[in-house]
Structure 1
Amino acid sequence: MRLKNNFTYGVLLGILGIVLFSSKAVMVKLVYRYDVDAISALLLRMLFSFPFYILIAYYYRNENKEITNTRKDYLWIFFFGFVGYYLASFFDFVGLTYIKASLERIILFIYPTIVLLFNKLFFKQPINKKQRLAIFITYLGIVITFGSEVSISGSNTYLGGFFVLLSAITYASYLVGSGWLIPKFGVMRFTAFAMLISCICVFIHFGITSNVNIFSFSWQVYALGFLIAVFATVIPSFLVSISIKLINSSNFAIVAGVGPISTIILATIFLNETVTMLQVGGIIIVISGILLISKSKKK
């Protein structure tokens, strides 16, 4: 009975974490209504997140301390923090300046298929027939959804979609490459370190490229920045970690299917975004492909 309760608890935490993560795109679009550029919005997210991850890194400083970490291990953490959190976030924020929040979530949601392709390319892990079918189904859904949106919103959708695709690729590379580092540092310590590196990269990026006065925005922008940092970054990162621990990654991948749906609902409520029936069909196809991949993994 306790195992069953833990599984239910893990599923509920996973759903809550995914819904909170999905709210990021909606809140970023709300920030853009105040004429805030992508790097400034990303800076606010990282500024408000930074103190939390410092505290987390300190609290879990002794996690997996029995394992000796080398200088090379820390260099790899820097690399994956740079690629997986800094670049992926930056590309995503830029993409959101051109496309709807609901479309952004659908494109990002293809990262499990990219993980499969990277594992095949770099680690020679075979892709079985069911996984190949899932990849085909997923990208078919993307083409349907994306093509329908281009006819509505115009050619800028191509540029926005390209940046969000880059975000999915960089995030997938982080997932593929960091798997062997997490056991060395522990989930919490590794995540905190990677996020702190990402924050510092954003601070440097903003300092070099931007002339924007970060203190010149309205209070609503800072409020949204705080909400993005706390409720769409810090809290869901731990909810997802706990959920994966309780129900395993394969089951969590199935739970993550609520992501695009929750984004569409939130975008409809807060952004008045509309979704055509053709796009709904594409969304269902994408989710079907991800579920097929999830079922093809070993439990």
Structure 2
Amino acid sequence: MKTRTLALIAVFIGTFIYGINYTIAKAVMPIYVKPFGFILIRVLGATIIFWILGFFIKTGKIEKQDYKKIAVASLFGVALNMLAFFKGLSYTSPISASVMMVTSPIMVLIFSSIIIKKPIAKKQILGVFIGLIGALGLITLGSTTSTNSSNNTLGNFLVFVNAASYGLYLVLAKNLIQKYHPILFVKWFYLFGLIFVIPFSSAEFLEIDWTTIPTHIYWNIGFVVVFTTCITYLFNLYGLSKLKPTTVSVFIYLQPVIASGFALMVGSDSLNPIKIIATLIIFLGVYLVTDQQKKTSK
């Protein structure tokens, strides 16, 4: 099998895992594990796994001046990103959350223009406004018939904060990811993240009654730690090493499709006109942003 085909399969598997993760993680929260407590489980598990891998793989060392940069990237890429996402997902529905995450490329463009002074074309500015209008519509008007969604507006807003935080992380970490071995970077990245989330998550973590958690929920927790956090990172990294970034970025459009299909299949969510219209508006905005980026890179 060709290397390109393997890379495409790896990225698709990563996208598929992200897509079904919305429903799988939603089943855990907040009934069995509260959102911040779940974050501590996820980050602690990932930190242990990546540090164990680090003992078996020669990765070099981090330069002294870069520890601070990794810590800042971890603040937005692990702490704020995950805390906002899991808290938001506990309030909103899997479909709404997956659609909101598609705004990440828009946030990357905005932060790139602010931090590294990257010029923005008129078409991209239009895309930003259209995408943000769609996101705002989903935040304020989006509703769901799911009984598990207690505060859809707050939940959608928090998932949007998560998308913005993740976009900022991508801008801050770009040079670091290229500079260091993936395992070396990610083991320190998650270690700093663990330090950041402990003050916010420890109380909810200590409240977990492990004896009352059903076996299938343990499997859900394990899926989030091993597959959503570790496997997807490694698969996407492999994809990025073999494919163009623009090719990999296209797969973000599949996340809401997979998330919606899986959520509807297991009956954890439903569609309504607001979700559909907001989704189309956001997709149009992201298309205008990423289409211009492709033309610029060419």
TM-score bucket (shorter structure): 0.7 to 0.9
The Cα shift of 1:56 comes to 2.7
* Partner SS, residue 97 of structure 1: helix
Contact 1:40/1:214 (8 A) holds in 2: no
TM-score between the two structures when normalised by the length of structure 2: 0.87
Question: 2 CA distance for matches of 1:57 and 1:290?
Answer: 36
How big is the shift at 1:60?
3.8
Query: Which digits, 9 at most, give the CA deviation of each residue in 1:84-107, with x for residues without a partner?
Result: 112200111111121001111111
Deviates more, 1:6-15 or 1:91-100: 6-15
Cα displacement (A) at 1:21: 1.7
Who is 1:156 aligned against?
Answer: 151
Q: 1:259 to 1:162 in 2, by over 3 A?
A: same
Q: CA offsets per residue over residues 148-201 of structure 1, 9 Å max, x none?
A: 424868992221122112111211111111112223323332123212322343
Displacement, 1:147? Answer: 4.5
Query: Distance between the aligned counterparts of 1:128 and 1:104, measured in 2?
Result: 28
Distance 1:93 1:34 in 2: 13
Q: What per-residue deviation string (whole Å, max 9, x for no partner) do you get for residues 3-26 of structure 1?
A: xx4333322221111111222221
Whether the 8 Å CA contact 2:19–2:98 is kept in 1: the answer is yes
Aligned to 1:183: 178
Give the structure 1 partner of residue 36 of structure 2.
39
Matched residue, 1:102: 95
Match of 1:249 in 2: 245
Give the whole-Å Cα distance in 2 for the aligned partners of 1:204 and 1:217: 25
Moved more, 224-233 or 212-221: 212-221
**Structure 1 residues 19-40: Cα deviation after superposition (integer angstroms, max 9, x where no partner):** 1122222111110263421112
Once the two structures are superposed, residues 180-235 of structure 1 have per-residue CA deviations (whole angstroms, 9 ceiling, x without a partner) of 22233233321232123223433443335654145344133322111111121111
Q: 1:142, CA displacement in angstroms? A: 2.4
Aligned to 2:292: 296
Structure 2: segments with no counterpart, 5+ residues: none
Matched, 1:122 2:115: yes
Contact map agreement 1:268 1:274 (CA 8 A) in 2: yes
Partner of 2:219: 223
In the superposition, the TM-score normalised over structure 1's length comes to 0.87
Provide the residue aligned with 1:173 in structure 2.
Answer: 168
Percentage of matched positions with identical amino acids: 21
Mapped to 2, the partners of 1:289 and 1:84 lie a distance apart of 23
Counterpart of 1:28?
25
Answer yes or no: is the 8 Å Cα contact 1:251–1:294 preserved in 2: no
Do 1:120 and 1:126's aligned partners in 2 also have CA atoms closer than 8 Å?
A: yes
- Is structure 2 residue 270 aligned with structure 1 residue 274? yes
Aligned to 1:285: 281
For residues 235-288 of structure 1, give each alpha carbon's deviation from its aligned partner in whole angstroms, at most 9, with x where no partner exists.
111111111121121111112210111111111123431112442233233223
Number of aligned residue pairs: 292
Q: Distance between the aligned counterparts of 1:201 and 1:255, measured in 2?
A: 30
Moved over 4 A (4+): 151-155, 208-211
Mean CA deviation greater in 274-283 or 154-163: 154-163
Q: AA paired with 1:82?
A: L
Picking from 8, 12, 37, the partner of 1:11 is: 8
Give the direction of change, closer, same or farther, for the CA distance of 1:265–1:175 in structure 2 (3 Å limit).
same
Structure 2 residue 232 is the aligned partner of structure 1 residue 239: no
Provide structure 1 residue ranges, at least 5 long, that are not aligned to the other structure. Answer: none
1:53 aligned partner: 50
Aligned to 2:71: 78
8 Å contact 1:15–1:256 — kept in the other structure? no
Q: 1:28 and 1:151, CA in 2 relative to 1: closer, same or farther beyond 3 A?
A: closer
CA shift in 2, pair 1:260/1:213, >3 Å:
closer
Letter in structure 2 aligned against 1:96: L
* Selected match of 1:260 from 256, 262, 266: 256
